[in-house]
Amino acid sequence: MKKMSIMAVVCAMVGGAAYADFQPNTPQAPSPMGGFVGGTENIVTVSQVKEMRDDTPVIIQGNIVQRMGDEKYLFQDSTGSITIEIDRKDWRGQTVSPSDTVKLYGEVDSGLFKTEVDVDYVEKL
């Protein structure tokens, strides 16, 4: 009798452990792709950008006033102007004129003799 009781307890433990590892085969809903919403954006000025290190992420707001060549433009805010580079895909179908205010998301491209902003996203305001 004692052996039967021990055998029943061992079977219950093995069966319980096997059941605990069981995962139902139900598809998981994909998690929405998104990011942080809220807070404030840290918009910097052209004069601040000129003092920043290479590859620093920046957001600048002002006007694109002139085309300077293939994908190069002159950007201006109240503190000065700087050369920016915007790849064709980063316009995202928007048309911008010098009178339009834009917010540019990108990173500082700092060299020995010049500092530019490599733009990743253009937002027309």
**What's the pLDDT tens digit per position in 54-107?**
999 999 999 999 999 899 999 999 999 999 999 999 999 999 999 999 999 999
The CATH architecture to which 43-124 belongs is: Beta Barrel (2.40)
Output the six-digit token pair for 99.
């009178």
Query: In whole angstroms, what is the distance from residue 51 CA to residue 110 CA?
Result: 9
**Per-residue buried b or exposed e for 36-55, using 16+ beta carbons within 10 Å of the residue's own CB:** eeeeeeeebbbebbeebeee
- 8 has a pLDDT exceeding 50: yes
pLDDT category of residue 29 using cuts at 50, 70 and 90: very low
Instruction: Give percent of the chain above pLDDT 70.
Output: 68
Q: How far is CA 42 from the centre of its chain?
A: 14
Please tell me which residue, 9 or 88, carries the higher pLDDT value: 88
CB proximity list for 91: less than 8 A, separation 6 or greater: 122
Query: In whole angstroms, what is the distance from residue 41 CA to residue 103 CA?
Result: 11
